[in-house]
Structure 1
Amino acid sequence: MTLRLYDTATREVRDFVPLEEGKASLYVCGLTVQSEPHVGHVRSGVNFDVLQRWLRASGYAVTFIRNVTDIDDKILAKSAEQGRPWYNLAYAMKRELDRAYAALNVAAPTYEPLATGHTPEMIELIAELIEKGHAYAAEDGSGDVYFDVRTWPAYGELSGQRVDEMVAAEDADPRGKRDPRDFALWKGRKESEPETASWPSPWGRGRPGWHIECSAMAGKYLGPAFDIHGGGLDLRFPHHENEQAQSRAAGRPFASYWLHNAWITTAGEKMSKSLGNSLVIPEVLKRYRGLELRYYLVAAHYRSHVEFSFDALDEAASAFQRVERFIERAPEAPVGELPAAFVAAMDDDLGTPAAVAVLHDTVREGNRASDPAPYVAAVRAMLDVLGLDPADEAWASTAGGADEKLVDAVDVLVAGLLEERAAARAAKDWTRADAIRDRLKAAGVEIEDTPDGPKWSIS
């Protein structure tokens, strides 16, 4: 069966036909590193990680570029609020993002370019657009440069909108625009902004607009035409619409397919910092393993909105633990062949819900079999594609670290209190012994006195 993908541009499921046989090129808009990544942020990373894994499993040599936006209005605003350099904030949040991806076994892309490292390519692309009559420098002395949407008749085709029905682009002061919907390609430096957040250009010192960043980086690493462009559904307009317009107006064919993952919502609203309902990854990982969180994200179809709840995450964790217990029945079984039903599900627009159903069916059949090894081999093959194989060394590298040190520290502290309790009991100071036991119980530590001495566990 041929891989079929839902293309947002055509609004239909189409056969994947790469530009070059045996190769697949993929560009995904990464995050703007303004704050700690939450569950909604990493869903895109996980979903497109599954895509690149499936492309590789299907025999394609994959070039995967996932950018990082490290200069942006929001980064400048947040860094000013916090009284720190903008580049310090961006760097710190980029490290948090790296840790979150590692904790969920999101494989590294072929390359992960930073926007700040590609201003020459952005300036070059803007100059091309001006030369072709699709962009103009503002006449108000601001140093801003805008894309002229009225010069590109196809503007709006990706999101299915007509120009006259669009809202104004709120990315710059409208005074220098010919049309309110024109969007910024270059932003002249303001006196209120740090000098370090600007670069020299033919239009004066300034910084790139958000949309031009991705067009320039995609072009540098994938060329003027590539196979798949991905990102969150919220990026379809205006970001991806503007990317496509400016790239094609410059004469670059750009992406053949557009894929968008849906949101994770809380109380029916998109999970975001502005709503105050975000769940940052380190906090979630205090309650669940990265394996369990990834399983929760993978089990839903990438185009399905997911209403986040800890109850649902509890169920997902329990379901995955059943798979792990089954694997333990034949721990030496190698990675085997993929079941045909799993392949069919994945080829049908990355149908992970159906693929996960095949996974659990195989577990149930294996539990009834006298020899579970062949079933374990098939399960491991499926888990490998989904990035969920517990034997993957990537999970081992995230299992220790701070969590392991925390467990060791708790063990030392509890052992010290148990020694105090044993001394009190030996001295027949029952009041002191009971007080220590009650103190531990209040902290969630259960004590069991055994012939071999006291044992403790977290309740």
Structure 2
Amino acid sequence: MYAWPASEVPALPGQGRDLRIHDTATEGLVTLDPGPVARIYVCGITPYDATHMGHAATYNAFDLVQRVWLDTKRQVHYVQNVTDVDDPLLERAQRDDIDWVALAEKETALFREDMTALRMLPPRHYIGAVEAIPGIVPLVERLRDAGAAYELDGDIYFSVESDPNFGKVSNLDAAAMRVLSAERGGDPERPGKKNPLDPMLWMAARAGEPSWDGGSLGQGRPGWHIECVAIALDHLGMTFDVQGGGSDLAFPHHEMGASHAQVLTGEFPMAKAYVHAGMVGLHGEKMSKSKGNLVFVSRLRRDGVDPAAIRLTLLAHHYRADWEWTDQVLQDAVDRLGRWRAAVSRPDGPDAEALVEEIRVALANDLDAPAALAAVDRWVTRQDTEGGTDIGAPGVVSRAVDALLGVAL
């Protein structure tokens, strides 16, 4: 599967700072010090509907991670998956009387368009669950053969008790895990499981649903968590720098994935930092496909909203914060974009070297994009009220905003 085209990232003078970011597993800030190539895995979409603002906020957060690393003169090895076969996709295809493959391809194509418009840097590897199946099957077989998985009516389940480090990503107790498992795709009430929290690794073929040859596992399709594990281990290996996604993925998805990988490899942890973006709400509830309370990137674009304004709306909120989408937050971003573009369109302005460092410091401090925006606002105010004589300053500001914040002025 192919990703989307990369926008050019301008080179800036000097060098950025190492990223200090909140790690869900340790419940505190950690300073990341990757090698020459920083490694990051971000969980992708299940393509049964268009990119909504919650998706955009998550991918914006991890786009900033990439930009901070690039500014430190590192390369970035970024991997993202597409869950192009799963129950929600099959259910939507049946509801709309459309082939599930056609639906997945259509929505994945629209996602690529949205990511391109928002200037999100693409992953080096963009892998669908279906194309990953040949790599998933042997991992499930290894877990089963090692006694870390078991069969139940043809389905294969992972035993969470096989991992002594289970629970160290989300830090939740068993009762909380059980509630979230039921809400987020698990089946804790299924009779016959060794532990209610055990997640499915391989689902035996169901009538009327797609299935693949699973070798000794039989016909079926992969579970949700093992998909990402197979892709991450294949392309990044263990102990990569950042595992990312929305905060609703901390449990069960990242917790279970970490356990799968740790049992398979005997290494701990799967990732050096588990980083989670907050939820975007609308009318008092989390924006989600199941609730149908969505603001779509593509619809805003069709309505003539500048993608740079959409991105500034996202940047105005700290990536870990839960926040509410309103017409006003978008209008504030439209107004800010207009002020910034007017300021950098002048032939000269106040010196901007200090501003570049302010943006770097803000982003290195747990991706504090609102502080970075405030720094640019201050430069713009100086430009409006005092002016300046530095003929290179507007260009420096424009390149810094593009390189570090992904906003083209």
Fold conserved (TM > 0.5)? yes
Cα distance between partner residues in 1 of 2:59 and 2:368: 17
Cα distance between partner residues in 1 of 2:282 and 2:219: 41
Aligned to 1:413: none
Q: Which has the higher contact order (CA 8 A, sep 6+)?
A: 2
Q: Report which stretch shifted further, 297-306 or 364-373.
A: 364-373
3-state SS of paired residue (2:136): helix
User: Displacement of 1:165 after TM fit?
Assistant: 4.9
Cα distance between partner residues in 2 of 1:88 and 1:103: 23
Of 87, 90, 104, the match for 1:90: 104
Of 284, 287, 297, the match for 1:281: 297
Cα distance between partner residues in 2 of 1:360 and 1:298: 13
C-alpha contact (below 8 Å) 2:93/2:99 kept by paired residues: yes
3-state SS of paired residue (2:337): helix
Of 186, 190, 196, the match for 2:202: 186
User: Displacement of 1:177 after TM fit?
Assistant: 1.8
Give the letter aligned to residue 357 of structure 2.
A
Cα distance between partner residues in 2 of 1:166 and 1:150: 14
3-state SS of paired residue (2:49): coil
User: Displacement of 1:348 after TM fit?
Assistant: 0.6
Aligned to 1:383: 401
C-alpha contact (below 8 Å) 1:199/1:206 kept by paired residues: yes
User: Displacement of 1:332 after TM fit?
Assistant: 12
Of 29, 32, 54, the match for 1:40: 54
Aligned to 2:13: none
Cα distance between partner residues in 2 of 1:153 and 1:318: 52
Q: Report which stretch shifted further, 39-48 or 213-222.
A: 39-48
Aligned to 1:409: none
**Cα deviations by residue, 1:62-86 (Å, 9 ceiling, x for unpaired):** 1011111101011111111122221
Q: How does 1:246-265 map to 2 (within 5 A)?
A: 246-251=260-265, 252-253=267-268, 254-265=270-281
Cα distance between partner residues in 2 of 1:373 and 1:243: 52
3-state SS of paired residue (1:174): coil
C-alpha contact (below 8 Å) 2:47/2:82 kept by paired residues: yes
Which contiguous aligned blocks of 4+ residues in structure 1 show a shift greater than 6 angstroms? Answer: none
Aligned to 1:99: 113
User: Displacement of 1:199 after TM fit?
Assistant: 3.2
Cα distance between partner residues in 1 of 2:175 and 2:149: 19
Question: Is 1:158 aligned to 2:158, yes or no?
Answer: no
C-alpha contact (below 8 Å) 1:155/1:163 kept by paired residues: no
Cα distance between partner residues in 2 of 1:191 and 1:161: 36
3-state SS of paired residue (1:202): helix
Aligned to 1:115: 129
Q: Whose Rg is larger?
A: 1
3-state SS of paired residue (2:82): coil
User: Displacement of 1:264 after TM fit?
Assistant: 0.7
Cα distance between partner residues in 2 of 1:83 and 1:106: 32
C-alpha contact (below 8 Å) 1:330/1:373 kept by paired residues: yes
Q: What's the TM-score once normalised by structure 2's chain length? A: 0.88
For structure 1, the residue ranges without an aligned partner over 5 or more in a row are: 391-459
User: Displacement of 1:295 after TM fit?
Assistant: 0.9
User: Displacement of 1:365 after TM fit?
Assistant: 2.2
C-alpha contact (below 8 Å) 1:38/1:278 kept by paired residues: yes
Give the letter aligned to residue 338 of structure 2.
Q
3-state SS of paired residue (2:39): strand
Give the letter aligned to residue 158 of structure 1.
V
C-alpha contact (below 8 Å) 2:177/2:252 kept by paired residues: no
Cα distance between partner residues in 1 of 2:348 and 2:379: 16
1:331/1:123 Cα in 2 relative to 1: closer, same or farther (>3 Å)?
Answer: farther
Cα distance between partner residues in 1 of 2:357 and 2:99: 53
C-alpha contact (below 8 Å) 1:229/1:259 kept by paired residues: yes
1:311/1:131 Cα in 2 relative to 1: closer, same or farther (>3 Å)?
Answer: same
Question: Is 1:8 aligned to 2:8, yes or no?
Answer: no
User: Displacement of 1:379 after TM fit?
Assistant: 1.4
* Percentage identity across paired residues of the two chains: 31
Question: Is 1:371 aligned to 2:385, yes or no?
Answer: no
C-alpha contact (below 8 Å) 2:40/2:240 kept by paired residues: yes
1:157/1:277 Cα in 2 relative to 1: closer, same or farther (>3 Å)?
Answer: same
3-state SS of paired residue (1:363): helix
User: Displacement of 1:164 after TM fit?
Assistant: 5.3
3-state SS of paired residue (2:362): helix
Aligned to 2:322: 305
Aligned to 2:9: none
1:336/1:99 Cα in 2 relative to 1: closer, same or farther (>3 Å)?
Answer: farther
1:380/1:347 Cα in 2 relative to 1: closer, same or farther (>3 Å)?
Answer: same
User: Displacement of 1:337 after TM fit?
Assistant: 8.0
For structure 2, the residue ranges without an aligned partner over 5 or more in a row are: 1-16
Of 126, 139, 155, the match for 1:144: 155
Q: How does 1:208-287 map to 2 (within 5 A)?
A: 208-251=222-265, 252-253=267-268, 254-285=270-301, 286-287=303-304
Number of aligned residue pairs: give it: 382
Cα distance between partner residues in 2 of 1:232 and 1:264: 10
**Cα deviations by residue, 1:184-225 (Å, 9 ceiling, x for unpaired):** 00000111324xx43333121000000000000001111133
Cα distance between partner residues in 2 of 1:85 and 1:283: 23
1:246/1:290 Cα in 2 relative to 1: closer, same or farther (>3 Å)?
Answer: same
Give the letter aligned to residue 39 of structure 2.
S
**Cα deviations by residue, 1:150-196 (Å, 9 ceiling, x for unpaired):** 222322221112335531745458234222211100000111324xx
C-alpha contact (below 8 Å) 1:292/1:317 kept by paired residues: yes
Cα distance between partner residues in 2 of 1:223 and 1:10: 21
**CA RMSD in angstroms, aligned pairs only:** 2.1
C-alpha contact (below 8 Å) 1:363/1:379 kept by paired residues: no
Give the letter aligned to residue 388 of structure 1.
V
